[in-house]
Amino acid sequence: MKSEMVIVDTSCWIEYFNRPESKEAKIVKILLEEDRVIITGVIIAELLQGAREKKEFQTLKESLIALPFLQETPQSWEEVGKLSFEIRKKGLIIPLTDCLIAVLAKEEDCFVFTLDSHFISLPNIKLYNQSKF
């Protein structure tokens, strides 16, 4: 049986690219080697916007689009709006991008590997446990 897939959030990709000796970067590397990484459009966009030059942009784009991709649907966007609405009623404001990642993770029953603490506030999200590393 194949291991469960993991959405690697932008925060962990930044560690992977900028601090390859960090714990998070090493975990991303292992997940990539195990073919467990899955990506979303919003994460691709966030990473590409941070490229410093055109060559880096192109190399990054080619690497990221090779990963399995989670495509949102109109129903996904409805769930994003519902999640954001419910969270705001509780007095929390979480970016729509992170609500989208949470909804896609829930729809696909996969983990989210992130450094962003506000994911803890989102219901029914399986956060990737890095304590074994």
- What pTM was estimated for this model as a whole? 0.91
pLDDT digits 0-9 by tens, 20-48: 999 999 999 999 999 999 999 999 999 99
Q: How far apart are CA 116 and CA 2, in angstroms?
A: 27
DSSP state string for the chain: -PPPPEEE-HHHHHHHHH-TTSHHHHHHHHHHHTT-EEEEHHHHHHHHHT-SSHHHHHHHHHHHHTS-EEPP-HHHHHHHHHHHHHHHHTT----HHHHHHHHHHHHHT-EEE-S-GGGGGSTT-EE---TT-
For domain 6-121, the question of CATH label 2.40.50.180 is answered with: no
pLDDT digits 0-9 by tens, 79-103: 999 999 999 999 999 999 999 999 9
Using 50, 70 and 90 to split pLDDT, how confident is the model at 1? very low
Using 50, 70 and 90 to split pLDDT, how confident is the model at 131? low
